[in-house]
Amino acid sequence: MNRKKALAVLMAAAMTSSIFGAVPAMASEDKPFEGQEITFADTGGGSWDEKLEPIIAKFEEETGAKVNMELYAHSDYLEMLQVKLPSESDDYDVIGVDVPLVASYATKGWIAPIDSYFTDDEKAQFAPSALDAGTWDGVFYCPAMNSSSQLLWYNTELLDEAGVEVPESSVENHLTWEQVVDMAKKTLEVVDPDGTKGIGGIAFEQVSRTYQMNQIPNSLGGKNIGDDGYTAQGVINDDAWIEGATWYQNLFKDGVALQGFTADDTGSFFLAGKIVFLIGGTWTDNNCKNEEMDTYGYAPVPAFEGHEDQVGTPTGSWHFGIPVNAKNKDLAAEFIKYMSIGEGNELWLEANGDVPATIAGADKIMNDENAEDYMKIAAYESSNTAVPRALTPGYTEYDTIIQNTWEDIKNGSDVTESLNNAAEKIEGAMEKLK
């Protein structure tokens, strides 16, 4: 329901109440929330509302409650929250929270803890990375609706043309980055020896963006931020970061990765046959099928030699939160349970094809003989190798600095100097938030 429809419903209810008098709803034992209502706001586009409506309708049928839903374009939604949440507005009972913003909203006192509504056993249903991502300072604030994961996608036509065979890989036996670089070089030597075709050997789909790039130092044992959520010195400029960033820069120096690919068009270049190996999300499969591209394969995110047990798959999607001024926190929590660990979550994952944030959800996919293999890989990674983004109240500032740093490194800056400068800038920004 959009804002206008929601307002119309509320106005009609008010008129009815004024004419006939307020009649309190009587809750039944099997429908404890009979006659109550909440408003759920989130970002969503395309067919989100069509997919969510029947799921919400089932919740309404089972509880007797009413859920008003408002969906916004992404940028409009974030701007709206920045206005509503600090204003003590009680317009919303449940909001979608972009996971890197959990710590920020919690620190500012914009969202309410949800610990009291989830037992320890219920919390344990989430994959460790998803639970950690929704927790700040030891307090559980935001359960996950779904997660995300990354895979190594490759163009089989280019590899076949070069006579390069990709070794068998599994969730337990990853390819190494060293193998992938070697295969990319051999392929380029055959299919684009003089570089005139503009084919990239390796590309990270979200070029320079923190979400995806930090997997490189993560896979070498590096952390995204200090345990306190504020410390960057000695963390993002440690040996793991220097080694990982140097490796990434060398991809460009050696011509294995090409300048010119941006986060906005990298996926399109892969579909056009211009990239041999692509690190991208599960959506890549649908994109390939929509473009009727059948010359592709996939494998788990690679590991570095000697660090096979430290693969750090990027993860983190949207979670649910309860604004501190929500009018009906009990019903809000019930709805969140339904959508995160209840039947609503199962229905959503089935409808949207997202990566589960629960252990049971991941196991279900991995054990389903009819499930796509790429989803089995993604499900395994979400439960076993996933690393959440930096857990910090200053994620917005952190993200900007880190993204610019990855871009500088890509363009040839001194790696150690760039990381030292980034650590200094991040800690300067964090001081203002303490």
Q: What is the mean pLDDT of the segment spanning 274-281?
A: 97
Residue 121 shares a structural domain with residue 155? no
What would the two tokens of residue 197 be? 């075709």
Task: Please give the pLDDT value at position 37.
Answer: 97
Q: Which of 132, 142, 149 is nearest to 105 (CA)?
A: 142
pLDDT at 151 over 90: yes
Instruction: Decide if 54 is inside a domain.
Output: yes
Residue 231 shares a structural domain with residue 340? no
- Share of residues in the chain with pLDDT > 70 (%): 93
Residue 43 shares a structural domain with residue 18? yes
Task: Please give the pLDDT value at position 171.
Answer: 86
Residue 136 shares a structural domain with residue 39? yes
Task: Please give the pLDDT value at position 163.
Answer: 98
DSSP label at 155?
Answer: E
Q: What is the mean pLDDT of the segment spanning 101-120?
A: 97
Residue 132 shares a structural domain with residue 158? no
Where is the domain boundary, 379, 408, 423?
379
Q: Residue 128 is part of which domain span?
A: 3-148+316-379
Three-state SS string over 298-314 comes to: EEECCECCCCCCCCCEE
Q: Beta-strand (E) ranges in 150-282?
A: 150-155, 200-204, 275-281
Q: 12 or 278, which is more confident?
A: 278
Residue 254 shares a structural domain with residue 113? no
pLDDT at 410 over 80: yes
Residue 93 shares a structural domain with residue 218? no
Q: What is the mean pLDDT of the segment spanning 70-80?
A: 93
Measure the CA–CA gap between 66 and 37, rounded to whole angstroms: 4
Q: What is the mean pLDDT of the segment spanning 383-387?
A: 92
Structural contact between residues 143 and 126, judged by C-beta atoms closer than 8 angstroms: yes
Task: Please give the pLDDT value at position 1.
Answer: 41
Task: Please give the pLDDT value at position 20.
Answer: 29
Q: How confident is the model over 38-62, as pLDDT tens digits?
A: 999 999 876 788 899 999 999 999 9
Q: Which of 434, 431, 432, 404 is nearest to 418 (CA)?
A: 404
Instruction: Decide if 386 is inside a domain.
Output: no
> Which pLDDT band holds residue 200 (cuts at 50, 70, 90)?
very high
Instruction: Decide if 172 is inside a domain.
Output: yes
Residue 243 shares a structural domain with residue 158? yes
Instruction: Decide if 389 is inside a domain.
Output: no
> Which pLDDT band holds residue 28 (cuts at 50, 70, 90)?
low
Q: What is the mean pLDDT of the segment spanning 4-8?
A: 36
Task: Please give the pLDDT value at position 207.
Answer: 95
> Which pLDDT band holds residue 18 (cuts at 50, 70, 90)?
very low
Q: How confident is the model over 362-380, as pLDDT tens digits?
A: 999 999 999 999 999 999 9
Measure the CA–CA gap between 248 and 225, rounded to whole angstroms: 20
Q: 47 or 133, which is more confident?
A: 133
- In Å, what is the CA distance from 7 to each residue of 11, 12, 54, 138, 249? 6, 9, 21, 38, 53
The 10 Å Cβ neighbour count of residue 202 is: 24
Residue 157 shares a structural domain with residue 252? yes
Q: 7 or 410, which is more confident?
A: 410
Structural contact between residues 139 and 113, judged by C-beta atoms closer than 8 angstroms: yes
Query: C-alpha angle with apex 420: 415 to 423, nearest 5 degrees?
Result: 125
Average per-residue pLDDT in the chain? 92
Structural contact between residues 195 and 255, judged by C-beta atoms closer than 8 angstroms: yes
Instruction: Decide if 246 is inside a domain.
Output: yes
Task: Please give the pLDDT value at position 353.
Answer: 86
β-bridge mates for residue 303, sequence order: 176
Please report, for the chain, how many H helices and E strands are present, in that order: 19, 12
> Which pLDDT band holds residue 30 (cuts at 50, 70, 90)?
confident
Instruction: Decide if 327 is inside a domain.
Output: yes
Residue 415 shares a structural domain with residue 271? yes
pLDDT at 17 over 50: no
Structural contact between residues 94 and 383, judged by C-beta atoms closer than 8 angstroms: no
Give the CA count within 13 Å in the CB-facing half-sphere of 128.
Answer: 7
Residue 120 shares a structural domain with residue 189? no
The count of structural domains within the chain is 2
Q: What is the mean pLDDT of the segment spanning 391-398?
A: 97
Q: How confident is the model over 230-255, as pLDDT tens digits?
A: 999 999 999 999 999 999 999 999 99
Measure the CA–CA gap between 123 and 130, rounded to whole angstroms: 10
pLDDT at 7 over 60: no
Instruction: Decide if 51 is inside a domain.
Output: yes
- In Å, what is the CA distance from 270 to each residue of 196, 236, 372? 17, 30, 20
Instruction: Decide if 388 is inside a domain.
Output: no
CATH number at residue 100: 3.40.190.10
Residue 269 shares a structural domain with residue 418? yes
Q: Which of 382, 426, 362 is nearest to 223 (CA)?
A: 426
Measure the CA–CA gap between 273 and 270, rounded to whole angstroms: 5
The 10 Å Cβ neighbour count of residue 228 is: 11
